Structure 1
Amino acid sequence: MHSLELLLGEAAEASVRADWERLVEAGLPSSGRHRSDTNRPHITLVAAPSLAPETVPGIDERVAAAAGFVDLPLATAGVLLFGPGRGGYVVVRQVVTTPELLELHRRVCTAVGTVRGQVRTSYPGAWTPHVTLARRMRPEQVATALEVLEPHPAPLRAVAVRRWDADARTVVRLA
């Protein structure tokens, strides 16, 4: 799956990485176990089977123009569970939807246009902004996760937009 992602500022990223590490130290699934250089805390704006320029001509330029200069204060609303899916629960920090965040999401979605196979939950009106902390968490692990996660994390700040190409395993910073 390819995605357009909202990146966090240094302090916000450090706060999320600290949560990832707390989960690792507790022996739980954690996004921090994925050690690739491209693995960063982020908020997915759009996800689809392909967002490569070969599939969606002009995407990088349109998204960069739509996003503009990104410097957006954000807050979290607590921990949510998505699922259960095939592999268990996805543990996330929900991001509070503000008019500014929703407008940025709308502009990016408009710039992308219609993309074959776009994940339904990344459309305006169906989007739940969040930062993933862990995937494939079994039900019996959830209580421990809630015990070790920071109850009141630092405020977040979004500072950039990037395109993740899952096929090439590369990122392109757009804004």
Structure 2
Amino acid sequence: MTQSLELLLDDPLDAAVRAQWAALSAAGLPSQDRHQGETNAPHVTLAVAGAVPEATETALHALAGRLPVAIGLGGLLCFGRRDGRQILVRSVVVNAALLEIQAEAARLYAGLPGTDERLAPGRWSPHVTLGHGFRPDQVAAAIEALGPVAEPHGQAVSVRRWDSVARHAWLLGHN
């Protein structure tokens, strides 16, 4: 069971990522575009836990009040999986405000069951996922399908909570 805390992007950044999802899908490659659930949206994960108590949930609303925060998309990265496949992502260009929000999220989730040490301050690799399950030979095709990668800037405008068991998402703040 995963309870994640995520930043959602403003409309222009969301559209830029969705256009990349569509390009990958049109090329027959793995893409987040293939996930048709209503909660599927470009996002940046701040923290995860197995369960989030009500007191933490309340504190998260204050965190959401710190938005919007500037955010930019950087270059393409691949994260390896144990099965040898790759996850293709866009890196997120960090700034002091974004790092502060993520550090506070990590602090609020500290000690909760099921946290992920890769999301600890100083270890966090902020990104937006483009697709899961790329074979190594598909990565070059993905780069070709995406063409020149612009580095758009905008804002993170909402904090969303996602419950993977209930398959339910809700906004904690929206500006």
Q: Which amino acid aligns with 2:9?
A: L
* Structure 2 residue aligned with 1:158: 156
Q: Is the 8 A contact 2:109 2:115 kept in 1?
A: no
Question: Which whole-Å CA distance do the structure 2 matches of 1:161 and 1:87 have between them?
Answer: 32
* Residues 6-38 of structure 1: CA deviation (Å, up to 9, x unaligned): 000111100000000000000000011000000
Equivalent residue, structure 2, for 1:130: 127
How far the C-alpha of 1:69 sits from its partner, in A, is 3.6
Alignment of 1:107-122 (within 5 A): 107-122=104-119
2:162 counterpart SS class: strand
Offset of 1:80 from its aligned partner? 0.4
Instruction: Report deviation, 1:106.
Output: 1.1
Paired AA for residue 125 in structure 2? T
Unaligned runs of 5+ in 2: none
2:40 counterpart residue number: 39
State yes or no: 1:75 paired with 2:72: yes
Q: Deviations over 1:26-65 (max 9, x none)?
A: 00000110000000000000022333xxxx2322211111
3-state SS of 2:58 partner: helix
Cα RMSD (Å) of the superposition? Answer: 1.4
SS of residue paired to 1:60? helix
Structure 1 residue 76, shift from structure 2 partner:
2.0
Query: How high is the TM-score relative to the length of structure 1?
Result: 0.92
Alignment of 1:94-109 (within 5 A): 94-109=91-106
CA offsets 1:49-94 (integer angstroms, 9 cap, x no match): 333xxxx232221111133241112112200000043261000000
Secondary structure, in 3 states, of the residue corresponding to 1:47?
strand
2:166 to 165, 168, 174: 168
Structure 1: unaligned runs, 5 residues or longer: none
Percent identity between the aligned chains? 40
Q: Any idea what SS the aligned residue of 2:54 has?
A: coil
Q: Give per-residue Cα distances to partners, 1:110-151, cap 9 Å, x unaligned.
A: 223321121111111110000000001100100011112251
Residues of 1 paired with 2:108 and 2:114: CA distance? 16
State the aligned residue count: 171
The SS at the match of 1:174 is strand
The two structures have a TM-score, normalised by structure 2, of 0.92
1:42 partner letter: H
Preserved contact between residue 17 and residue 32 of structure 1 (Cα < 8 Å): yes
Give distance in 2, aligned partners of 1:168 and 1:8: 23
